């Protein structure tokens, strides 16, 4: 297993520890969870750079890397929903978008086409990660609401863009 794949696997392994810290309510749980979240997020950036630079892209990485990202972000947002810091409908929008885009990619793949990550998807991911970090820092309610709004708006925008740019995948069904 190459280094990028090991980093992806490490990110997946970190998720239960991230949640365990929160649920066991250890002293400074938010900050420990934030540290784990940041380290896990950094492994995502690092594994991608290494894989591209050294041409270490693998089928495992193509599958597991985006899955690990979705698992990490969903875990954080589930926590925010549970503690009342994020409404459930906002998380539902994020999850529905992820399933829809993944489904679109599967249909395209069956037709021999690869749908690469769009710029809006990268903006969505980056802004979501920043907002999650801010939300762990126990920001004022207005800023928390703004973070939830940013997450929802960028999620919808990127999801719509994927479907508009690749509508031919669905029309040829």
pLDDT of residue 173: 65
Q: Which residues contact 56 (CB under 8 A, 6 or more apart)?
A: 2, 3, 4, 5, 50
DSSP state of 24: T
**What residues does each domain of the chain span?**
1-76, 84-173
Rounded CA-CA distance 115/107 in Å is: 10
Among all chains, which residue has been given the structure tokens 């994927």? 162
Phi-psi region of 138 (alpha: psi -120 to 50; beta: other; left: phi over 0): left
pLDDT of residue 165: 94
Contact criterion met (CB below 8 Å) for 87 and 93: no
Rounded CA-CA distance 74/80 in Å is: 10
Q: What is the pLDDT along the chain (173 residues), one digit of tens a residue?
A: 899 889 999 999 999 999 999 999 889 999 999 999 999 999 988 988 898 899 888 888 878 888 899 999 999 999 999 999 999 999 999 999 999 999 998 999 888 888 877 889 889 999 999 999 999 998 999 999 999 999 999 999 999 999 999 999 988 66
Q: Which residues contact 28 (CB under 8 A, 6 or more apart)?
A: none
Rounded CA-CA distance 84/63 in Å is: 32
pLDDT of residue 98: 94
Among 24, 10, 142, 145, smallest CA distance to 68 is for 10
């Amino acid at each position: 297993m190459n280094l990028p794949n090991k980093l992806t696997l490490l990110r997946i392994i970190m998720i239960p520890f991230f949640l365990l810290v929160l649920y066991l309510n250890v002293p400074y749980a938010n900050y420990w969870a934030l540290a784990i979240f940041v380290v896990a997020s950094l492994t995502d950036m690092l594994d991608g750079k290494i894989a591209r630079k050294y041409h270490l892209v693998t089928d495992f990485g193509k599958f597991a890397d985006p899955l690990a990202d979705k698992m990490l972000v969903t875990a954080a947002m589930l926590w925010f929903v549970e503690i009342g810091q994020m409404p459930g409908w906002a998380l539902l929008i994020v999850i529905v978008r992820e399933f829809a885009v993944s489904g679109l990619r599967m249909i395209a793949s069956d037709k021999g086409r690869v749908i690469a990550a769009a710029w809006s998807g990268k903006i969505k991911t980056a802004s979501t990660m920043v907002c999650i970090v801010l939300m762990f820092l126990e920001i004022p309610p207005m800023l928390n609401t703004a973070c939830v709004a940013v997450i929802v708006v960028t999620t919808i925008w990127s999801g719509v863009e994927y479907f508009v740019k690749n509508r031919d995948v669905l029309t040829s069904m």
